[in-house]
Amino acid sequence: MLKPSLAIVQKDLRMEFRSKESILAMWIFSLLIFVIFNFTFEVSRLVMLEIAPGLLWVAFIFSGMFGLNHSFAVERENGNLRSMALMPVTGGSIYLGKFLSVTIIMLLFETLIFPIFVIFYDLQLTATLFLLIPVILAGTIGFTSLGTILSAVSVHTRNQQILLSLLLWPLVSPIIIWSVNLTSMVLAGEILTNFLPLLIRIIAFDVIFFTISFMLFDYILED
């Protein structure tokens, strides 16, 4: 069960690291998001701190979209998606494999983006900042668990990228909203009593979306 999933992860990461320039491109792109935002909204530092959490997640989401599109474009070339349907593995383990590789890549992007963010917004590196780790993990997993299955859906259409955005953004918006809320709390250094319940809620929905997608993936592979 786990073995084929890991084979997919190995293959995906191999290809991803082979094209290092795309990782670099992604990193520069997120840098641009911060820069452009500063140009277009000349706001005071106080307001900036208020919108910074949202901005951080915008950069994360773009990197996630980038990773998803890339990961599934590769499966589409030479009919590899069809080949997966022919393999003696369950749809669930293919889903798990793609989910893992997309998540790892997105987390990697986020690790690269976060330091720029810290510098640009002059974040104080306090101890509470560590609370961001579970928040980012939970939000990212929500994004990728839905993103993986919806990429597999949209990859069958001619307009894969636009359709993925159309499907994914509204569906993932609750998780993103909560993640932004939690990120604001951490950055403001005010951990409210509803921090933990909210985090648990995100994790609960991660589990729900992952499980449903895991079960439904077989239907996506068949013709």
Partner 1 sequence: MKTLIDKIILVILLLAFLTSIFLIFAWVPPIKASNPAEQIAQRIFYYHVPSAWIGFLAFFVVFIGSIAYLWKRERKYELLSVASAEIGVLFITLVLLTGPVWAKPVWGIWWTWDARLTSSLVLWLIYVAYLMLRRYLPDGNKRANLSAVVGIIGFIDVPIVYYSIRWWETQHPKAVMASSEGGLAAPMFFVFMFSLAAFTLLYVYFMRVRYKLLVMEDSINKQIKEMEIL
Partner 2 sequence: MSEIALHLDSVSKDFGRIIALRGINLDVQPGEFVSILGRNGAGKTTLLNIISGISTPSEGEVLLFGTDPAASSNKSKLAVISHEMFLYSNLTAVENLEYYTQMYRVEGMEDKISSVLETVELTHRRFDLVSTFSRGMMQRLTIARALLHDPQFLLLDEPFTGLDQHAIAMLTTILKGQKAQGRTILLTTHDLHIANDLSDRFVVIDKHRVVYDAAVGALGVDELRSRFFSAEGAQS
Question: Which residues would be at the binding site for partner 1 (CB under 8 A)?
Answer: 146, 149-150, 153-154, 156-159, 163, 166-167, 169-171, 173-175, 177-178, 181, 198, 205, 208-209, 212-213, 216, 219-220, 222-223
Rounded to an integer, what distance in angstroms lies between the CA atom of residue 92 and that of residue 110?
A: 26
CA-CA distance, 52 to 209, in Å (whole number)? 27
120-151 per-residue burial string, b: 16 or more CB within 10 A, e: under 16: bbebeeeeeeebbeebbbbbbbbbbbbbbbbb
**Could you tell me if residue 123 is left (phi over 0), alpha (psi between -120 and 50 degrees) or otherwise beta?**
beta
| Chain contacts with partner 2 (rule: CB under 8 A) | 3-4, 6-7, 10-11, 14-15, 18-19, 74, 77-80, 82-83, 85-90, 221-223
Residue closer to partner 1, measured from CB, 113 or 180: 180
Which CB atom, from 14 or from 166, has the smaller least distance to partner 2? 14
Q: How far is the CB of 149 from partner 2 (least distance, A)?
A: 19
Return the one option of partner 2, partner 1, none that residue 146 interacts with (CB less than 5 to 8 A, by type).
Answer: partner 1
150 near 209, Cβ under 8 Å? Answer: no
The encoded tokens of residue 36 equal 């452009």
* Binding partner selected for residue 219 from partner 1, partner 2, none, CB under the kind-specific 5 to 8 Å limit: partner 1
